[in-house]
Amino acid sequence: MKIVLLSLMNAFAGWAIYVLITRGHWIAVIVLILATLLLDVIYLLPRHWTMPLKFLVPGTVFLIGFQVIPILYTIQVAFTNYSTGHVVTKSDAITQIKVTSLQPPANGRSYTMAAARDSSGNLVLILQDDTSHKNFVGTQKGLKPLPAGSVKTGALGVTSATGYTIVTGSALFALDKTLQSYIVPVGNGAGIRPQTISSAVELEPTLRYDAKNDTFVRISDGAVFHDNGKGAFAHGTDELEPGWKTGIGTKNFSRIANDPLVRQPFLRVLVWTIVFAASTVLISFAVGLFLAIALDKKGMRGQRVYRSLIVIPWAIPGFLSLLVWQGLLNDQFGVVNRIFHMSIPWLFDANWAKVSCILVSAWLTVPYFFLVSMGALQSIPEELTEAGRVDGGGPFQLFRRVTLPLLLIAVAPLLIASFAFNFNNFNNIYLLTRGGPPQANSSVAGSTDILISYTYKIAIATGKGNDFGLACAVSIIIFIIVAVISGVSFSRTRVLEDIA
Amino acid sequence: MSVIETAAAAKPAVRETPARKRPKLGDTWWRHLVGIVAGLIALFPIWFVVSAAFNADQSVSGTSYLPTHFTLNNFTQILHNTVVDQSSKSHVDSSFLRWWLNSILVSAAAALFTVILAALAAYAFSRFRFKGRRFGMLALLLIQMFPQLLLVVAIYLIVLNTGAIFGFLGLNSFTALVIVYLGGALGVNTWLMKGFFDTIPHELDESARVDGATASQIFWGVVMPLAAPIIAVVGLISFVSTMNEFVIASVILQTQHHFTLPVGMNGFIDQQYGQRWGPFAAGALIAMIPVAALFMGLQKFIVGGLTQGAVKG
């Protein structure tokens, strides 16, 4: 069994290594070879010290691949300008700038064109000037005139040319790639380039790349575009598109701290995230505890029925409940407004949407705290409350002085864990309001966006471009906040002492 | 505190204590009132989903306490992919059954492998004494604080780039999705299972070893069968949370055919509550019943597991 699995894995790794070699990903090849050898050693050596590793390795491989590496990658991207317009490498960017800088010159000509073969089979372009109707044959060496009348044209362009065979049909489509890079030079760096399969225009570069100084020079006025160190060639504030991906140090973080366009939405979202998580947890705990106290009465009839009903929201897949609530809270035809004869814009007003988010999240979370409180209440020894009663304490006093403190000891870590969870509760926001309604200042962040949904929008889901660098920087800030909260929670509980 | 202890602590809650004397209704009426109101609020949305699912009017605005015109049409439409948009009268392409199957497939695979990976690691932490053991447990806890949700940008870029080389691991691949989910398999689950394994007497391992069993035979043959309760808890929690996962699935799965239920249903109902509410409610009902039944059935175990720190979303 072990041997079968191992050889399967080795065969797979071998194939993967072969594919990677053909693509020239040498670092990946080395990593994969080392990893495979390490695994073989661990599982084949009958040494005592490999024993724990045999059990730890399978999970650790996935942990490293899809938790540790993404964490490192997130950190790395956070210090780059990786975003729309800064995706490619610098050399690709230079190539693209050269292509996009091509423009028709002032007296530029356009041609009706056909791809053709000359008598020895070489690819040429048959060209007829659209204004003067003069005929030419273009090769990659240059342009030669053809006698008038030697080229015939029809509705679909050039139909025949004396001495040349016009390429048609599937042979023409096969030439698509070749034609795209086919240039007929006409001097001064300008060239005639095919635009479609039947037309061509004369284009000349407006920018010249100076490889020695690593600059672009605008030919018209001699303006020099330098590498500005932020992933673009720039002349003053004028940047050439596209830029490239490059390290920009802590600029993403300083943008969050200083740039008002980023700082304002970020701070607003941060405050709302804390308000949302804290109120969801506190309301849910308060209601859950109240329900638990109300139903925690020995011998009460129907206790089990009530309990089952209250737990229902917890048992249903959350994404469905959220989408259902989105429908029920719709202000025009939603059930809630109709049944209670209200016309509250539950999801379309910034403040009401926040209320809705908290209420619906509480609806989803109350059952959890109900069950937890129920268990905790019953683990409190009856002697304690009995003693309090004997000493003359009223029910409210008993609850405040005896029950609640004992309960909090048991529940506090769960409250903190739940806060950390709701802090990143993407579903509860996104599937209810999508983070909306939108803010008036048209920022990416909507009124109910929490940090994690804000990050998601910055990175992926907006029409305003993808800013992976900034998104990763925000992710790291979220991590620090959550880590601090969790750290405090763990240091105050005894979890860590259990390791021994 | 181990799961067993927690479960034991929670147990009296489940067992009905033999009534000494039933309290008079006069003393408990307010408790009943609270119970009834809470029950009604809990049931509120579900009631209207049921009502809408059997109602002939497909709009949210047509939903009321009871279906005005009883019909099974909504179920037929969503199951047979013949949903008709009420305003444009055109066919809406949805693949509810496929999304459901995708979800179950992905969640089941993720749950199965999560249990295996977490159990293997937990067994090592529970039974072996090795250098770096304490560090390993702590590292798991720390790494797990960075939820995969936060890594969604990095994961998206990694899957995108991997897919360019190995097509079957790129976007739209269930294998890629499950593998990504497995990155979060250890962590809390390992802690939960380690706590349980610690309560299984070492003497059982020892006697098996004396009888000549290998380490893997002991693990699969002795320990795992005894760990059935914690396997059920970890498996179910993992299944349900994968079932609910939206963000990572939505960036990795990009075509309708490959969607999981959350991604598919979200796209299906998005801003269409006036036109598609009926079929949506029917689909939601079909999807929620098995999970809810499973949850209610295993409630007892799960409460014990969850109080250990995992939180269901």
What are the tokens at A370? 């109900």
Does the beta-carbon distance from B309 to A490 stay under 8 Å?
no
Number of inter-chain CB pairs under 8 A, A vs B: 317
Q: Which residue of B has its CA nearest to A316?
A: B292
User: Residue A58: which of B34, B117, B142 has the nearest Cβ?
Assistant: B117
User: What is the pLDDT at residue B313?
Assistant: 34
User: Residue A310: which of B38, B117, B266 has the nearest Cβ?
Assistant: B38
**What is the ipTM for the molecules in this complex?**
0.84
C-alpha pair distances (Å), B277 with each of A314, A318, B78, B157: 23, 18, 11, 35
**What pTM was estimated for this model as a whole?**
0.78
A5 and A58 Cβ atoms separated by less than 8 Å? no
Q: Which residue of B has its CA nearest to A325?
A: B45
User: What is the pLDDT at residue B310?
Assistant: 39
Across A104-133, average pLDDT: 81
From chain B, the residues in CB contact with A418 under 8 A are 311
B118 and B111 Cβ atoms separated by less than 8 Å? no
Q: Is B100 on the interface with A (CB under 8 A)?
A: no
Residue B256 binned pLDDT confidence (cut-offs 50, 70, 90): confident
CA atoms within 13 A on the CB side of B240: 27
User: Residue A70: which of B151, B274, B311 has the nearest Cβ?
Assistant: B151
Which amino acid, A392?
A: G
A340 and A334 Cβ atoms separated by less than 8 Å? no
Over the Cα atoms of chain B, what is R_g? 24
B112 and B235 Cβ atoms separated by less than 8 Å? yes
Backbone angles phi, psi at B147, to 5 degrees: -65, 150
Does the beta-carbon distance from B153 to A77 stay under 8 Å?
yes
Please report the sign of the dihedral spanned by the C-alpha atoms of residue A411, residue A417, residue A423, residue A425.
negative
Please report the sign of the dihedral spanned by the C-alpha atoms of residue A25, residue A26, residue A27, residue A31.
positive
From chain B, the residues in CB contact with A482 under 8 A are 145-146
Chain centroid to Cα B27, Å, comes to: 40
User: What is the pLDDT at residue A374?
Assistant: 86
- B273-306 helix and A318-328 helix, angle to the nearest 10 degrees: 140
Evaluate if residue A442 carries a pLDDT over 70. no
User: What is the pLDDT at residue A5?
Assistant: 81
* Count of C-beta atoms within a 10 Å radius of residue A431: 25
Q: Would you tell me which residues 278-307 of chain B have a C-beta closer than 8 angstroms to some C-beta of chain A?
A: 280-281, 284, 287-288, 291-292, 295-296, 299, 303, 306-307
* Count of C-beta atoms within a 10 Å radius of residue B296: 15
User: What is the pLDDT at residue A283?
Assistant: 96
Across A240-268, average pLDDT: 82
Instruction: Provide the CATH number for the domain formed by B96-270 in this structure.
Output: 1.10.3720.10
User: What is the pLDDT at residue A343?
Assistant: 80
Residue A463 binned pLDDT confidence (cut-offs 50, 70, 90): low
What are the tokens at B190? 């390992």
pLDDT, tens digit, 9 for 90 and up, residues A204-235? 777 878 778 788 888 777 778 877 777 778 77
- Least Cα distance to B180 among B149, B205, B203 occurs for B149
- DSSP letters spanning A380-391: S-HHHHHHHHHT
Evaluate if residue A143 carries a pLDDT over 90. no
Does the beta-carbon distance from B31 to A294 stay under 8 Å?
yes
pLDDT, tens digit, 9 for 90 and up, residues B98-120? 999 999 999 999 999 999 999 99
- Tell me what the pLDDT averaged over chain B comes to: 80
Shortest Cα distance, chain A CAs vs residue B145, angstroms: 7
Chain centroid to Cα B40, Å, comes to: 25
Q: Where are the alpha helices (DSSP H) in chain B?
A: 3-14, 25-53, 73-79, 96-127, 133-144, 152-165, 174-182, 188-199, 202-210, 215-218, 224-226, 228-244, 247-252, 261-269, 273-306
Does the beta-carbon distance from A418 to B311 stay under 8 Å?
yes
User: Residue A317: which of B49, B145, B288 has the nearest Cβ?
Assistant: B288
From chain A, the residues in CB contact with B9 under 8 A are 375, 378-379
Q: Which residue of A has its CA nearest to B273?
A: A327
User: What is the pLDDT at residue B11?
Assistant: 38
From chain B, the residues in CB contact with A455 under 8 A are 150, 152-153
Q: Which of A66, A303, A346 to mutate to test the interface with B (most CBs of B within 10 A)?
A: A66
* Count of C-beta atoms within a 10 Å radius of residue A422: 25
User: What is the pLDDT at residue A488?
Assistant: 75
Q: Which residues of A339-353 are buried (b: 16+ CB within 10 A; e: fewer)?
A: eeeeebbbbbeeebb
Residue A281 binned pLDDT confidence (cut-offs 50, 70, 90): very high
Residue B305 binned pLDDT confidence (cut-offs 50, 70, 90): low
Across B197-224, average pLDDT: 87
Across B115-137, average pLDDT: 89
SS3 B287: helix
Evaluate if residue A299 carries a pLDDT over 80. no
- Least Cα distance to A167 among A126, A109, A209, A227 occurs for A126
What are the tokens at A472? 């990763």
Helix (H) or strand (E) holding A43: helix A26-44
Helix (H) or strand (E) holding A263: helix A260-295
Q: Would you tell me which residues 113-172 of chain B have a C-beta closer than 8 angstroms to some C-beta of chain A?
A: 116-118, 120-121, 123-124, 128, 130, 133-134, 136-138, 140-158, 165-166
- Tell me what the pLDDT averaged over chain A comes to: 82
Does the beta-carbon distance from A327 to B296 stay under 8 Å?
no
From chain A, the residues in CB contact with B291 under 8 A are 315-317
Q: Domains of chain A by range and CATH?
A: 2-78 (no CATH), 90-96+208-239 (no CATH), 104-205 (2.40.430.10), 263-499 (1.10.3720.10)
Across B219-237, average pLDDT: 87
Q: Is B234 on the interface with A (CB under 8 A)?
A: no
Does the beta-carbon distance from B42 to A426 stay under 8 Å?
no
Across A145-162, average pLDDT: 78
The residue that leads in pLDDT, B97 or A100, is: B97
- B3-14 helix and A350-378 helix, angle to the nearest 10 degrees: 90
- Least Cα distance to B141 among B182, B197, B191, B192 occurs for B191
pLDDT, tens digit, 9 for 90 and up, residues A48-87? 777 888 888 888 888 888 888 888 888 888 888 888 777 7
From chain A, the residues in CB contact with B136 under 8 A are 56
Residue B311 binned pLDDT confidence (cut-offs 50, 70, 90): very low
Residue A272 binned pLDDT confidence (cut-offs 50, 70, 90): very high
Q: What angle do CA B174, B175, B181 make, to 5 degrees?
A: 85
Evaluate if residue B141 carries a pLDDT over 50. yes
Q: What angle do CA B246, B249, B252 make, to 5 degrees?
A: 145
Shortest Cα distance, chain A CAs vs residue B278, angstroms: 11
